[in-house]
């Protein structure tokens, strides 16, 4: 297998299939060299990963609302500007996955306090995030969301 570096991480290319898998990407995807259509593998038997890459924005409706999640990362996302919704701005956003009843659902949230609290976590950290309401800012007249983030210990069944 050939190995190259790109800006996201290492890319490993199979010499027989030409399919590359990039490690260090924010999402697990296969990458194929597109210079020759004849070398593109047939996708009829390809396996679809059961994780949707389109994360919904989580905006808690009530104080005490919480999610047990796997933290993924903090990454810039595009959002409508607060003052001019016709303009999009890049804002750091927390990305995490919730798995309930066998279904994995991606979520994102751009609360500055939540993002700053999650920014130091390792990818894959398991936490419970709880919305505690809003608190008036000391430096301006706005209010910001307040959060609780607690680690979770996973109890695996004994074999």
Give percent above pLDDT 70 in the chain: 81
Please check the confidence at residue 153 and state whether its pLDDT lies above 80: yes
Predicted local distance difference test score (pLDDT) of residue 4: 43
What's the predicted TM-score (pTM) here?
0.69
Structurally, how many domains does the chain consist of?
2
The reply to whether 118 and 90 lie within a common domain is yes
The reply to whether 74 and 121 lie within a common domain is yes
Contacts for 113-120 with beta carbons within 8 Å, 24 or more apart? 113/144, 113/145, 113/146, 113/147, 114/145, 114/147, 114/149, 115/74, 117/147, 117/149, 118/71, 118/74, 118/94, 118/149, 119/74, 119/92, 119/94
Please check the confidence at residue 9 and state whether its pLDDT lies above 90: no
The reply to whether 118 and 145 lie within a common domain is yes
The reply to whether 15 and 71 lie within a common domain is no
**Domain that includes residue 6, residue range:** 2-39
The reply to whether 30 and 62 lie within a common domain is no
């Amino acid at each position: 297998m050939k190995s190259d570096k790109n800006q996201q991480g290492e890319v490993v290319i199979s010499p027989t299939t030409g399919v590359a898998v990039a490690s260090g990407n924010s999402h697990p995807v296969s990458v194929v060299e597109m210079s020759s259509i004849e070398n593109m593998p047939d996708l009829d038997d390809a396996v679809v990963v059961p994780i949707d890459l389109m994360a919904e924005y989580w905006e808690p409706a009530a104080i005490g609302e919480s999610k047990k999640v796997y933290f993924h990362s903090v990454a810039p996302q595009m959002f409508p500007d607060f003052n001019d919704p016709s303009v999009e701005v890049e804002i750091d956003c927390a990305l995490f996955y919730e798995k309930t009843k066998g279904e994995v659902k991606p979520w994102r949230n751009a609360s500055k306090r939540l993002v700053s609290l999650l920014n130091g976590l390792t990818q894959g950290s398991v936490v419970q995030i709880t919305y505690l309401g809003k608190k008036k800012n000391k430096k301006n007249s706005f209010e910001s969301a307040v959060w609780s983030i607690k680690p979770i210990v996973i109890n695996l069944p004994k074999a």
